Amino acid sequence: MNSEQSGNASADLQQRIDAIESGYEFLLAYAAQGRDSDRGAGEGRNVREFLGKMAAALDGLAVVVVACADRHDSSLADGSRAFFDALAEDARRAEALIKLVLSQTDIGSQLVDNLNASIHLRALLTDLFVIDEAFKRPRAN
C-alpha cells in the first residue's frame, strides 16, 4: 500500500468511526423522545438518515481496519487476526440489525432503544474504541 492509499484508508476509517459514533449518539437521544414513529422528522433530525449513514459506514469496515493496521504496524494485522475477524463479524451483525430497523414502516423510540441495547451494536462500538486508541499509540519495537 503506498502512502496515499494508506492516508486514504486512515481518513476513510476515521469518517466511518465518526458516522457510527455520531449515529449512536443520535440514537440515544432519539430513544429518549418517546416517539411512536419517525414520520415527519425534518432533515438532520431523521433517524433513517443516521441509520443509513451507519449502515454505509459498516459496509466494508473490516477491510479498511486491516488496511490501517498494516499501515500502522505490518505485524499488527497478522498478530491480531482473531480480533479483526471478530470486528468483521460484529460489523456484519450490527449492519444487519440496522437494516432490519430501517426496513420498518415506522421507527419508534422503543425500537431504537432496543437497537441501542443490542449486544451486537455495543460490541462493535467497543471494537471501534479499541481500534481508534490502538492506532493512536506508537508502534511497539
Overall number of domains in the chain: 1
CATH number for the domain harbouring residue 62: 1.20.120
Residue 141: inside a domain: no
Q: What is the pLDDT along the chain (141 residues), one digit of tens a residue?
A: 444 455 688 899 999 999 999 999 999 999 999 999 998 766 557 999 999 999 999 999 999 999 998 887 777 777 788 999 999 999 999 999 999 999 999 999 999 999 999 999 999 999 999 998 888 866 655
- Measured distance CA(104)–CA(107) in Å, rounded: 6
- Within a domain: 68: yes
Distance of alpha carbon 66 from alpha carbon 81, whole angstroms: 9
Has residue 16 been placed in a domain? yes
The answer to whether residue 57 sits within a structural domain is yes
Domain encompassing residue 45? 3-136
Residues 121 and 128: their CA atoms lie apart, in Å, by: 11
